[in-house]
Structure 1
Amino acid sequence: MALPPTAASASVLRSLRSEGVSVSPVSDGIGVLDAVRARDPALIVLDVELPGPEQGAVLAALQTEVPNVPVIAVTSRERRAGLIGQLRADRDDYVVRPFAVDELAARIRLRLRLGPPAENGVLRHGVLTVDTEFGDVTVDGQGVSLSPTEYALLMALLTAPGEIVPPDRLAREVWSEPASANLIQVYISYLRRKIGAERIRTVRGEGYVLEA
């Protein structure tokens, strides 16, 4: 875990260790690469504002050195846009500072459960298939044409298949800014029409679940 030594990072460490997760903290960019080579981690949390080398370069180096290891990037809202293009849709994730400790812990648990990365950039969930390299989406073998916003919404749901994704997370990941509940519902409706209404379940007051 590559986070600067703050009260927040100490809280994250305590939370993860209390759940039985083995954590090896480092406090600078050089230390991240050294730790990866020495410890063979299952997952990397990388704060893009760590001291040391430019963290975009550190992220790229990590993806090359350990291509099957997921990275969760911690970023500020200002740096988010430049970071997202570097993340692998089938493998990586991010949180925006300030974040809740339980949110980061939940994302770590999810990434650790996902297993190997998608084969050849293809993600599958039930009859739904997404080719992340070309942006192609099929449902039960039939091609589906999505708008850029619909595709981004599907990918946000697909990062947590079978789990509740809250509206505020969808707003952050799809629109990069506050989005009204009504706007999110409208695009959920659009997406349901294209991939099947039964594949997106609404959990009232909590969010949406992508079903298999």
Structure 2
Amino acid sequence: MPPNEPVLLALPPTAASASVLRTLRSEGVPVNPVSDGIAVLDAIRARDPSLLVLDVELPGPDQAAVLAAVQSEAPNVPVIAVTPRERRAGLLGQLRGDRDDYLLRPFAVDELAARIRLRLRLGPVGGTTMLRHGEVTVDTEFGEVHVDGRRVALSPTEFSVLLALVAEGGSVVPADRLARQAWSEPVSANLVQVYISYLRRKIGPERIRTVRGGGYALEA
């Protein structure tokens, strides 16, 4: 699929959603907005987007049914589901672990933008599952990490932190965004720092740079 194929942004018709749309476009993310479940299915059937961001409380048909229809009719389209915390447990069973993702509402737009960039870098379902920065390679399908050609065993949380860093391709990831991406909920900056130290021991202390007042970046 062409990399400039628009992202389908399915959020309720609110002022907050309009603000999300403006911000994503200002950051260069190609986005086509829709505001109900029927429009989601129409857009999917007309032309596969590169990615679907789907709010599970969108107006129209039950969004569990919409999500199931999207996965059936357009299995190559990855999905980021936006959900309130109380609906997370029911949603997880519908997500394809190799490609889909979820984001708890309320969310920061920079976090959504980061999740979108990650999904687009992974490509369509069935495509490559490898991300690489320098000599660090992450296989998102099998949960494997190789550094300088050797396999490195990580805990699930360590893997999530490293994935968030690799997905940014060396750009600085603020500690609060790193926390949300790795834990999907707010955690302390101290906990983030602890897991950064764990990663440094396993992949090399020189590979993760601390940016004072900013966050962390993966070195090539």
TM-score over 0.5 for the pair: yes
- 1:116 and 2:119 correspond: no
The 5 A counterparts of 1:64-143 are 64-80=72-88, 82-83=90-91, 86=95, 88=97, 91-105=99-113, 107-108=115-116, 110-111=117-118, 114=121, 116-117=123-124, 119-143=127-151
Instruction: Show structure 2 runs of 5+ residues with no match.
Output: 1-8
Secondary structure at 2:142's aligned position in 1?
A: coil
Distance 1:97 1:36, change over 3 A: same
Deviates more, 1:19-28 or 1:125-134: 19-28
Deviations 1:58-80 (A, max 9, x none): 33443444444443332223334
In 2, the alpha carbon distance for the partners of 1:84 and 1:161 equals: 28
Given candidates 52, 55, 59, the residue that maps to 2:67 is 59
Answer whether contact 1:46 1:74 (CA < 8 A) is retained.
yes
Q: What's the RMSD between the two structures over aligned residues?
A: 3.1
- Partner residue of 2:43? 35
TM-superposition CA deviations, 1:62-99 (whole Å, max 9, x none): 3444444443332223334554562555x555433223
User: Which whole-Å CA distance do the structure 2 matches of 1:132 and 1:22 have between them?
Assistant: 24
Task: Please tell me whether the aligned partners of residues 164 and 203 of structure 1 are also in contact (alpha carbons under 8 angstroms).
Answer: yes
Q: Is the 8 A contact 1:70 1:111 kept in 2?
A: no
**Contact conserved, 1:15 with 1:105, CA < 8 A, in 2?**
no
Residue of structure 2 aligned with 1:151, choices 147, 151, 159: 159
Structure 1 CA distance for aligned equivalents of residues 27 and 129 of structure 2:
31
- Residues in 1 aligned to 2:101 and 2:163: alpha-carbon distance in whole angstroms: 11
Pick closer, same or farther for the CA change 1:203–1:6 going to 2, 3 Å.
Answer: same
Structure 1: unaligned runs, 5 residues or longer: none
Contact 1:12 1:105 in 2 (8 A): no
Q: Does the CA contact (< 8 Å) of 1:171 and 1:178 recur in 2?
A: yes
Structure 1 residues 26 and 111, CA, compared in 2 at 3 Å: closer, same or farther? same
Looking at structure 2, the residues matched to 177 and 115 of structure 1 have their Cα atoms a distance apart, in angstroms, of: 23
Per-residue CA deviations over 1:78-123 (Å, capped at 9, x if unaligned) read: 334554562555x555433223445445554x35862735845333
Find the aligned partners of 1:126 and 1:200 in 2 and give their Cα distance: 12
Are 1:161 and 2:169 matched, yes or no? yes
Q: Compared with structure 1, are the counterparts of its residues 81 and 194 closer, same or farther at alpha carbon in structure 2 (3 Å cutoff)?
A: farther
Q: How many residues align?
A: 210
C-alpha separation in 2, matches of 1:198 and 1:161:
16
TM-score by length of 1: 0.79
Using the aligned pairs only, state the percent identity.
72
Distance across 2 between alignment mates of 1:82 and 1:207: 33
The alpha-carbon deviation at position 205 of structure 1 amounts to: 1.2
